[in-house]
Structures are given as structure tokens and as C-alpha cells.
Amino acid sequence: MLLLKLRNRHFLLLDVFVMLLTPLAALMVRLDTFTIPREFWLSLALYTLAALAVRLFVFRRMGLYARYWRYASVEELVQMVTAVIISTTLLTTGTLLLRAFAPFVFARSVLLIDGLLVLLAVGGLRFSVRAFSQNSFQPDANRRRVLIMGAGDAGEMVVREMKRRPNQGLLPIGFLDDDSAKHHLSIHGVPVLGSRKEIPRLVAQYKVDQIILAMPTATGATIREVVGICEMLGVETRIVPSLPEILLQGRIRPQQLRRVQIEDLLRREPVQTDIQAVRALISGKRVLVTGAGGSIGGELCRQLLQCGPRELLLLGHGENSVFEIYHELHGLDLHGPQITPLIADVRFAERLLTLFEQHRPEIVFHAAAHKHVPLMELNPAEAITNNVLGTRNLLAAALAVDVAHFVMISTDKAVNPTSIMGASKRAAELLVHQAARRSGRPYVAVRFGNVLGSRGSVVLTFQKQIARGGPITVTHPDIRRFFMTIPEATQLVLQAAVLGQGGEVFVLDMGEPVKIVDLAKDLIRLSGLEPGKDVAIEYVGLRPGEKLYEELFIPGENYRRTAHAKIFIATNASSFVPADLDGGIAQLAQAAARNDADAIRRGLRALAPEFSPSNGQTAVVPPPAPAGQTAPPAAAAPESVRTTTN
């Protein structure tokens, strides 16, 4: 259509034509006649030329000839109204001044009428482009009929993008929302038809092909329910990006809609991070992230980049992973802070100290660690040299250059550990607490459970097994784990940097632990298959050092909720530091140098008496929490905190 091919140069010519006619039309309206008396001709001609010059000047300065009007919005409307008001004000002022010095037979109301006519003409012309672009649909028969679950901001974005991009082949039939106050209303001409309970009726009535879940803050239970209904009806399900993605992009495009993933079924209410406090802490600082090429370290770097650090230091041992995150971040913000990649191994104290003295970081996020339980059972010396001695080296370098904030990423496996990996992380926690006590600085640790989508995650393993046709291997039918997403983990780490005073442990309320076998079944169903029929599930037995159930707090830790309802803090964590921690770490270092696995286990047990190397077969209920303490996360429930011991 010709209207859709108009460019800003065409609008300029059309505006000139309109502005030459509107003064005449305004005067006719004012005089209520089509015949203009002779005495008005000179004034009309002078005003028309002046109005044309002034309005074109104002329109150009306000950017009305640098807009893509096919996507015009309220912002463009406000800009247009403002331009007309400013130009009309200038013309009115000039007319009043001219009338004071020369005869000027022209009614002042003509200026107001002229302004309204200009606004209607130029505005109507431009917004008709958007109207035609939105209504130039493909035939409805060629488009997929869609219901949108969620009549909020995300749902509105989805429908707006569908109308804006009809070539995507999606036809919005209606909204679904559990808020009855929205029923029978209309958004962008699309009605709100009912709640999720009416999905079966509406799918049959409107012959729906697809349901889009536009509820970025909905819980996993809600998403699971809707997905279950859609699977029963044979309707395809799509979901909008996560809330952080929406905020980052500012809009939802149809091509961003994706299949429901396991992260969506486990979703919780988002952690309300104090973004302003985080930005205030990070802005203008030199920030170093160890393990920057890993899953958590990389996401930390992405989030930190948005907080305006003076310099972001990416420290990692693997050159390929550091190379990838460096170029990714450099491509995100070419005019942002300096990004410096550092290839180094945390095992080498002198190398770390040299780097710290050269770059003088002010905030350190320590994400580098060995994390695989079975591998560390087979290679205990590596767990000690990397997780324990590496943390000691980092802390020594941080204290040497007066690093103000230090946040170490720990794990729920450090609580009553039954594995070398868990015990090594517990020893690392103790080192952080010791450094906080000695320095008085906010050096803290953060504990969380399994991270969905991280390297080596059970989800990735299951997905590969499903792709091969199975079977999925699960160690035990009763094994459970706490799960969180990478964004959740990152938000907790950033918030801990703000909340920490020194020596605390922060824990995210991760809800109820999930049975791994249920996770496997969900993944099979999300792949369009049936558990036990298309893909088998086999139980292979617990691996060395593996627990049936994980915990979040060590017995005796005083925990309470912080100002953030989803974040807990153990305020007395530093009181567990052994008197001779340095001597114990030195003995561990010697045992690791000899590759003496038995000596390593004895040394870890001396530092953390709760360490109980186990084959993971016996599950017991730990003692109840001391009276008067605030209830911890779901891990405090007896079934949720059981752990394996000998």
C-alpha cells in the first residue's frame, strides 16, 4: 500500500501542503463563511508564511522528521502535541507583538483553531500509517489462533507485537486472566475471555492452536498447571522470556516466544533485589570476578556490567571460556567500563598477589571452584588446592591491597558435608569468616543449591540422555535437591555484597527440594514424550559422597530473614572458625601435595567436625533448630533437611 511506503521527506512535503491550507480553513471556521473578506487577505498571507516557517522549524528541531511512523506510539503523540503547542505559542506571541506596532486584522482564535487543525492533519496522517500497518494482516485462515494467558503488561506486549508483525502468522483470539476484574474488558481490541479454568471450553469454542503464557512472575506451580491442561488438550504451549529478559529488551517479539522449559516449572517468585543499592556499591569501582568464564561467573559479569563499574576484571584459568565472556561483554557495551581479561590460576599465590597489586580491585566475587562431587572424591587433592588453598590465596591478596568487599560462592553441600567437595567448600567458608574477623571488612559467603543450566547440571545430562532415546539414569528414587536458576543465584550474590557486614553466610529461600526423578519425568514430558513408554528411567545407586537430601544451615547457626524476604542470613557463622585454622589448612596443603586422600579426609574432619564421609545410604533427621529462632527455608522441615551419614 502506498501509505506504508511514505518516508519522512514525503511527510515534510505533505506538512507544507497542510500548513498552507489550515490557516485559510481556520479563518473560514472563525468567520463561519467560505468567502474571505478582502481586508483579511494580507494578514492571512503573512500569517500563513510565518506559521509555515515556525512550525517546520519546531517540527524539525523536535525530531518529527526522524521517526519511523509505522511504529508510532504514545511517545510520538506527546512529541507531536508538544511541537504544535510550542509553535502555536510562538506564533501567538509574535502576532500580539505585531498588533502592537502595526495594523493586523486577524482574530486570535484563528491561531488556536489553526493549531488544532494542524495537529489533526499531521497527526492523523502519521498515525494512519501505523493503523494501516497493523491492519494489513494475512488472511485469518492462514494464521495460528492464539490465546494469551495473562492480561498484564507482558500480555499487552505480546498482542502489540503480534499486531505489529502479522507476518509471524499469529492471530490473537483473546486473553485469559485469573483476575475477574479484567474479564469482559478489551486490550488492543482483543477481549479478556475468562480464567485458566475455562481453557478447555475456550480452546474448543475458538479452535485455538496455541496458548502463550505471558506471566513472567507466575510461580512454577501455576505454569505447571496450565501446561498440564494444554498437554491434555493437545494444544501447543509457548512462554514469554523471563522478567529480567523483558526488562533488558524493553519489549517482547513473537520470535522470542519459546517452549516451556524445566526452569519455568520450578520458577518461584522473583527475588526483589535492591538494584539501586547494588548499583551504588558497584558504580565507579574496580570489580574482579574469579571463575569469570563459568556459568555463575559469566552471569555475574553480565549483571555487573549494567551497574557501571569503573573496570571489570575477568579472572579465569581456562583461556577459552575467558575469551568467550570477554568478547561477549565487549560486544554488549563498547562504550562502557574497561573490561580486562586475566588468565591466572588461583592456586598460585604469587601470581594472584601480583595481579591484585597491579589492578587494585575494590570488590571481589569469588566464583572459581571445582564443584563435581564424584570427580572430587576421585581427586581429593584437586579439591583442596583449588577450593581451599585457592580461596586462601585470594583472601591473602585481597587483604594485601585492601579489597573492601569479598563475596565467596559456596554450596549447600558444605552443610554437614559427606563429600570431599562439600567439605572443601566448608573449609573455604571458614577462611572467609576468619578474614572477616581479622580485618573487620564485609567478607561473606553465599550458599545455594543446584543451578539449572550451569555446566554439568543434571538437567543438561538428562537432556542429552533424552536426545539419545534414553534411558535417563537417576541415582536413587528418593534423592532430592534444591534448585535455582542462574539469574536467581546471581541476584543473591550481588545482594550479599550489599547486605554483608562481615563473617555472615547468606542463603536463598529455594522453597521445597525437588525429587530428581520428578525432574526427569518433567523433562521427558516437555520433550513431547512419555516417561516409561518413550524414555525409560533407571536407578543406578548413590555415588560416593552423595547425599539423599541437602541442607542449608549448619546446626548452631543463628539464622534470620533479611530485609529481603527470600534471603536468609546466618549471623554467627564466623563463631565456628577453629582456633588453629591456619595450622589445619597447612596440614591440608601438605596432604594434598602428597596426594594422601586419607590425610585429606582427616584434615577436613579436624576443621569441620560435621564432615562425615559416607556412601550416602543412611538418612537421618538432624536435631531441631534452637528455640526462638526464625524459621529457615524449607530445609528446616524434617523431610527436607535429612542428610546421609554413617
| Residue 346 C-alpha from the chain's centroid | 29
d(CA 451, CA 601): 27
User: SS3 for 374-401, per residue?
Assistant: HHHHHCHHHHHHHHHHHHHHHHHHHHHC
For 554, the grid coordinates are: 549448619
d(CA 36, CA 430): 92
Q: Which residues pair with 212 in a beta bridge?
A: 148, 238
- Residue in the structure block whose three cell numbers are 523483558: 246
Among 419, 426, 387, 456, which Cα is nearest to 544's?
419
Considering 182, 285, 371, 413, which one is annotated as catalytic?
413
Burial of residue 207 (number of CB atoms within 10 Å: 0-12, 13-18, 19+): exposed
The amino acid sitting at 201 is R
d(CA 277, CA 593): 43
d(CA 247, CA 254): 16
| Residue 203 C-alpha from the chain's centroid | 32
d(CA 295, CA 8): 46
d(CA 134, CA 1): 12
d(CA 162, CA 160): 5
For 141, the grid coordinates are: 485462515
Q: For the chain, give percent helix, strand, coil, nearest 5.
A: 50, 15, 35
For 66, the grid coordinates are: 526522524
Q: Rounded to the nearest 10 degrees, how much is the dihedral formed by the CA atoms of 329, 333, 337, 343?
A: 20
d(CA 422, CA 428): 10
CA-CA distances (angstroms) from residue 154 to 170, 223, 335, 488?
Answer: 16, 15, 30, 20
Q: Is 413 a catalytic residue?
A: yes
Cα angle for residues 636, 638, 643 (degrees, 5° grid): 90
Helix (H, G, I), strand (E, B) or coil at 237: strand
CA-CA distances (angstroms) from residue 181 to 174, 177, 192?
Answer: 16, 9, 10
Cα angle for residues 184, 187, 189 (degrees, 5° grid): 90
For 201, the grid coordinates are: 471450553
CA-CA distances (angstroms) from residue 76 to 82, 120, 153, 156?
Answer: 10, 14, 20, 19
d(CA 460, CA 532): 20
Query: Which residues have a catalytic role annotated?
Result: 413
